[in-house]
Amino acid sequence: MPQKKPVVVVTRKLPDVIETRMMELFDARLNLADKPFSKNELMEAVKDADVLVPTVTDRIDASVLAAAGPNLRLVANYGVGVDNIDLASARSKGITVTNTPGVLTEDTADMAMALILAVPRRIAEGERVMRTGDWPGWSPTWMLGHRINGKRLGIVGMGRIGQAVARRARAFGMAIHYHSRRPISEQVEQELEATYWESLDQMLARVDIVSVNCPHTPATYHLLSARRLKLLQPHAYVINTSRGEVIDENALTRMLENRQIAGAGLDVFENEPAVNPKLLNLDSVVLLPHMGSATIEGRISMGEKVLVNIQTFIDGHTPPDRVIETMF
């Protein structure tokens, strides 16, 4: 008799090729309408699921996990960050959590580099001028920005993505500085000609551009606090392609309004999808709708990781992307 397929609940629409394979392998409950689950819908979904496939917009907190039926043994997150999942509650219930690391590194680093270029050179501001028809023509002193060649880039979180950003920035002639919980290998540090700062405060006071590339964890919540943001020089720029919660967004907004720092490039926000309305009125800020990893190739690779994690777990083995701890 054929073995009963596990019930896999998917909370958002995924690429067609991934959904098709899920239907072939599992008893997949897809979200074809792509409407985000409410908390009550999540609590209902986990009652019957063997596997839950959430995304970064789903809050899998203790109350959701408490509602889970006895069959839920795996939460296969469609995403790298797992700050949306209560890992301690999952562990206490014997539920394994996996994610999709590695496949989004280059895409996210590309977006961070795009913002590093766009903000100092006022690219988005110039594009808006062109669309309004207000361009008066070329002038030697109009729409002047700053070159990035020779500038110091301070990377907060030197993991896969931070190192990928550093490689790109080096190609543009930037000097690499970084802060992480521990230094990277000496070989990589030499390759990137990177300077390690044990003190984040000291690094922030000395760099021209800050790129936030660490995950959101309890330890990194408001890591760039109001106090730390005030350490930045007035000509500095802040780039965030990580998680909005890592920066005190209200403090950042106030400093941008008061021109205490030169600008920011933000792909993530503290209260997504809500954006501080004051940010919308600032020409010195480039705002993107959390699209750092939004490539077709990346989304398919994420789905393939989820499939492998589920199938490996069902086969009785430890999935390759089991989440043990989060670091930066």
Q: Do 105-287 and 7-103+295-314 fall under one CATH topology?
A: yes
pLDDT of residue 2: 62
- 297 counts as catalytic: no
pLDDT of residue 3: 76
Its CATH class, for the domain covering 7-103+295-314, is alpha beta
Which value, to the nearest 10 degrees, does the dihedral of the CA atoms of residues 50, 37, 240, 184 take? Answer: -10
Per-residue pLDDT of the chain (328 residues; tens, 9 = 90+): 467 899 999 999 999 999 999 999 999 999 999 999 999 999 999 999 999 999 989 999 999 999 999 999 999 999 998 999 999 999 999 999 999 999 999 999 999 999 999 999 999 999 999 999 999 999 999 999 999 999 999 999 999 999 999 999 999 999 999 999 999 999 999 999 999 999 999 999 999 999 999 999 999 999 999 999 999 999 999 999 999 999 999 999 999 999 999 999 999 999 999 999 999 999 999 999 999 999 999 999 999 999 999 999 999 999 999 998 654 5
The CB density around residue 30, as the number of other CB atoms within 10 Å, is: 19
- 179 counts as catalytic: no
Sequence-ordered list of residues with C-beta below 8 angstroms from that of 118, at least 6 positions apart, any chain: 124, 265, 286
The CB density around residue 304, as the number of other CB atoms within 10 Å, is: 16
Of the listed 19, 41, 44, 272, which one is catalytic? 272
Of the listed 122, 168, 179, 290, which one is catalytic? 290
pLDDT of residue 257: 98
In the chain, what are the domain boundaries? Answer: 7-103+295-314, 105-287
Of the listed 243, 245, 270, 299, which one is catalytic? 243
Q: The whole model's pTM is what?
A: 0.91
Domain at 105-287, CATH homologous superfamily: NAD(P)-binding Rossmann-like Domain (3.40.50.720)
pLDDT of residue 70: 95
pLDDT of residue 324: 83
Residue at token pair 């890992």: 87
The CB density around residue 198, as the number of other CB atoms within 10 Å, is: 11
Distance, CA of 169 to CA of 163 (rounded, Å): 10
- 290 counts as catalytic: yes
Dmax over CA atoms of the chain, in Å, equals 79
